[in-house]
């Protein structure tokens, strides 16, 4: 699982690959179709697709360029789910911190006690 996620992050490190994924989230496409808008060769895009494929982010029946590339939504979900849980945990912690900070206003007043007026 950890290796899988690491490969996903590595695959996502490249802006071209992120862009490819964004386009595949709309519809399946062949490598040729994916390469069309870029000033790069079909071979270069094919390499990117292979990295995405190794990370499990996309799949393709066989290696032919004519086969459409398909986004594997579950792997995407796995990653976003992990990150989202972690974020929720952090957010939960910081909401407790909010409460501590809100209570601190009073504490701060107490640490600067009025000069012995009522004592």
**What's the farthest any 2 CA atoms get from each other in the chain?**
87
Q: Facing residues of 70 across strands?
A: 59
Q: Which of 77, 94, 109, 113 binds other proteins (CB under 8 A)?
A: 94
Return the number of the residue (43 or 94) whose C-beta is nearest other proteins: 94
CB 68 within 8 A of CB 60: yes
C-alpha closest to that of 76 among 11, 16, 15: 11
Q: How far is CA 51 from CA 15, 47, 57, 83, in A?
A: 13, 6, 9, 22
Candidates 19-27, 52-60, 64-72, 83-91; binding stretch for other proteins (CB under 8 A): 83-91
* Residue 93 binds other proteins, judged by CB under 8 A: yes
Return the number of the residue (40 or 91) whose C-beta is nearest other proteins: 91
Candidates 28-36, 55-63, 69-77, 78-86; binding stretch for other proteins (CB under 8 A): 78-86
Q: Which of 27, 44, 77, 82 binds other proteins (CB under 8 A)?
A: 82
């Amino acid at each position: 699982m950890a290796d899988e996620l690491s490969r996903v992050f590595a695959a996502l490190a490249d802006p071209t690959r992120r862009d490819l994924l964004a386009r595949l989230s709309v519809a399946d496409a062949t490598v040729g179709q994916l390469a069309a808008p870029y000033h790069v060769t079909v071979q270069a895009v094919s390499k990117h697709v292979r990295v995405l494929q190794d990370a499990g982010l996309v799949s393709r029946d066989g290696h032919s360029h004519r086969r459409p590339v398909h986004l594997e939504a579950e792997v995407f979900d796995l990653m976003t789910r992990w990150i989202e849980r972690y974020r929720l945990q952090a957010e939960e912690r910081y909401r407790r911190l909010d409460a501590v900070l809100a209570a601190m206003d009073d504490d701060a007043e107490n640490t600067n006690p009025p000069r012995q007026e009522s004592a």
